[in-house]
Amino acid sequence: MSETEARATGGKGAPDGDIRPAMDGFLREVGRFRADITRKLNKQDERLTMLDRKTLSATARHALETTRDDAAPHRKALDTYLRNGDDDGLRGLELEGKSMTTTVAADGGYLVDPDTAERISTVLRSSASIRSVATVAQVEAGSFDVLVDHGELGSGWGSETAAPSDSDTPQIEKIAIALHELSAMPKASQRLLDDSAFDIDGWLADRIAQRFARAEAAAFVLGDGLDMPRGFLTHPISEDVDPGWGQIGSVASGAEGDFAEADPLIDLVYALGADYRANGVFVMNSRTAGAVRKLKDADGRFLWSDGLAEGEPARLLGYRVVIAEDMPDIAPGAAALAFGDFGAGYTIAERPDLRVLRDPFSAKPYVLFYATKRIGGDVTDFSAIKVMRFSAS
């Protein structure tokens, strides 16, 4: 082989020997780069997974739940305040739709979160009191005005050519229901509050609801209107069935401190106007109910009938019975039994907000929780309520 041929042959083989190591090195670099990228992506996925778990545990929200819990920050801040008195979280919260914060120290505390307030309202609505049958109005002012029409709007018949005659003008009167402060002061030991398993929200709601329910029930029946709602029995009770505005009509039982017979109950029902009677309810306490249950008609049938289904109220002469323990007992001259359309006859006005103030100093080693709300009530239609006087005439 000539020198020229040898060079030609060597010239072909030399590049192969140089490129192969370079390609191997390049592939190794690509492999290391790919492994590094894969490792970084795996770390990123792990971080995202940890963040998701922390978010779910912090909000205590089910994975499939997508609704936003706007009350969660308020509830968490209130829980911290109730347990250890730290109100920093509450001071920075803003109430939705209001240009104010939850810091209302001048008014006596902090607003309770909506869930706790609704839990208390539910207990009050379901309690055996006038609230369950009366009209309840939510107001933001210090009083609630009700316009009452005393008379009927005049009317008359006329012909095509005759001049119309004058008709009566209705008399309008305004009743102002003032709102009064209702308070409750449950207490718990600091050791109990330090226990994370203790449901402070539920405990506080139950204690406040119990005390508010008892105070409200008494005021709606016997309240004097001074720093409390005015009860319907504190208005003048007339011996007439229809005495006019400002007095509550009554029917006599026929005997002093007792029922002479069952007929006065029927008289009481039909003493109420037909437009009110459709929504009529009886109101009495348990002792009066025990006496009424024994009454029978001329054929020996009981006038009282229990509810046919669970949770259905008992009925007297076909009308619902509300047991209000603050009604008077049967006694000579007592108005121990009422019948009427309380939705039309009695109005309750209240502010929707509930405030609570923590006091760890006044009753050591206990912590007091001073809860307040504003509420008022009064009769707004005297024709819608009638009572039975336990007297001979």
The tens digit of pLDDT for each residue in 86-127 reads 555 555 555 444 433 333 444 455 566 566 667 667 766 666
Which residues form the domain of 269?
A: 232-345+378-389
299: left (phi over 0), alpha (psi -120 to 50) or beta: alpha
**Which range is most confident: 51-65, 93-107, 166-180, 232-246?**
232-246
Helix-helix angle 72-84:114-126, to 10 degrees? 90
How does strand 135-138 pair with strand 109-111? unpaired
* Residue 23 confidence (pLDDT) above 50: yes
Q: What is the enclosing helix (H) or strand (E) of 32?
A: helix 3-59
Confidence of residue 71 (pLDDT cuts 50, 70, 90): low
Kindly state the tokens that stand for 196. 């994370």
Q: What is the CATH number of the domain that holds 274?
A: 3.30.2320
**What is residue 1's predicted lDDT score, i.e. its pLDDT?**
46
Whole-number pLDDT of residue 67: 46
Bridge partners for 136 per DSSP: 348
Higher pLDDT, 90 or 166: 166
Q: Of the candidates 119, 56, 70, which has an alpha carbon nearest to the alpha carbon of residue 371?
A: 119
Per-residue pLDDT at 76? 62
Buried b (16+ CB within 10 A) or exposed e, 200-235: bbebbbebbbebbbebbbbbbbbbebeebbbbbbbb
Q: Higher model confidence: residue 180 or residue 47?
A: 180
Angle among Cα 119, 345, 274 to the nearest 5 degrees reads 125
Q: Quick one: how many helices (H) and strands (E) in the chain?
A: 10, 19
Dihedral sign for Cα atoms in the order 138, 141, 142, 145? negative
* Pick from 339, 336, 318: nearest CA to 327: 336
In angstroms, rounded to a whole number, what is the distance separating the alpha carbons of residues 273 and 295? 24
Decide which of 33 and 3 is more confident. 33
Confidence of residue 156 (pLDDT cuts 50, 70, 90): low
* Residue ranges of E strands in 324-384: 335-340, 346-350, 355-359, 366-379
Query: What's the pLDDT at 195?
Result: 75
Task: Give the Cα-Cα-Cα angle 264, 270, 275 (nearest 5 degrees).
Answer: 155
pLDDT over 70 percentage in the chain: 69
Q: What is the dihedral of CA 279, 280, 281, 282, to 10 degrees?
A: 180
Task: Provide the β-strand partners of residue 392.
Answer: none
Question: Mean pLDDT lowest for which of 136-150, 235-249, 333-347?
Answer: 136-150
**Among residues 333, 336, 332, 339, which one has the least CA distance to residue 317?**
339
Residue 192, pLDDT > 50, answer yes
Partners of 148 in the beta sheet?
173
Q: Is residue 288 part of a domain?
A: yes
Matching residue, tokens 């539910």: 122
Q: Is residue 76 in a domain?
A: no
Find the mean pLDDT for residues 316-326: 92
| Cα 113 to Cα 354: distance, rounded to the nearest angstrom | 9
pLDDT at 7 over 90: no
Average pLDDT, the chain: 78
Between CA 226 and CA 119 the distance in angstroms is: 28
209 located within any domain: no
**pLDDT single digits (tens) 217-240:** 999 999 999 999 999 999 999 999
End-to-end CA distance of the chain: 151
281-284 and 335-340: which strand pairing?
antiparallel
Handedness of CA 250, 255, 258, 261 (dihedral sign): negative
Query: Which carries the bigger pLDDT value, residue 30 or residue 78?
Result: 30
Question: What pTM did the predictor assign?
Answer: 0.68
Q: Is residue 52 part of a domain?
A: no
Give the pLDDT of residue 61.
45
- Domain for residue 353, yes or no? no
**In the beta sheet, which residues pair with residue 347?**
135, 378
> Using the 8-state DSSP alphabet, how is residue 300 labeled?
S
Confidence category of residue 49, pLDDT binned at 50, 70, 90: confident
Query: Considering its fold, how many domains does the chain have in total?
Result: 1
The pLDDT of residue 106: 40
Task: Give the mean pLDDT of 369-386.
Answer: 91
Residue 243 has pLDDT above 50, yes or no: yes
pLDDT for residue 318 is more than 70: yes
Tell me what percent of the residues of the chain surpass a pLDDT of 90: 32
d(CA 250, CA 348): 23
Q: Give 262's DSSP letter.
A: S
Instruction: Give the containing element (helix H, strand E) for 251.
Output: strand 249-252
Express each pLDDT in 281-317 by its tens digit.
999 999 999 999 999 888 888 999 887 666 677 899 9
Cβ–Cβ under 8 Å, residues 283 and 322:
yes
Provide the CA 311 distance to its chain's centre, in angstroms. Answer: 20
Pairwise pLDDT comparison (361 vs 384), residue with the higher score: 384
Q: Are 354 and 371 in contact (CB under 8 A)?
A: yes
Q: What is the pLDDT of residue 22?
A: 78
Domain assignment of residue 207, yes or no: no
In a domain, 282, yes or no: yes
Question: pLDDT grade, residue 74 (50/70/90)?
Answer: low
- Range from 78-82, 203-207, 208-212 carrying the lowest mean pLDDT: 78-82
257: left (phi over 0), alpha (psi -120 to 50) or beta: left
The pLDDT value recorded for residue 63 is: 44
What pLDDT score was predicted for residue 383?
Answer: 92
Measured in residues, the chain has a length of 393
Within 8 A by CB and 6+ apart from 280, the residues are: 269, 272, 319, 339, 340, 341
Q: Which of 60-74, 256-270, 292-306 has the lowest mean pLDDT?
A: 60-74
Q: Is residue 8 a part of any domain in this protein?
A: no
Q: Mean pLDDT lowest for which of 291-295, 333-337, 362-366?
A: 362-366
Quickly state the pLDDT bin for 65 (edges 50, 70, 90). very low
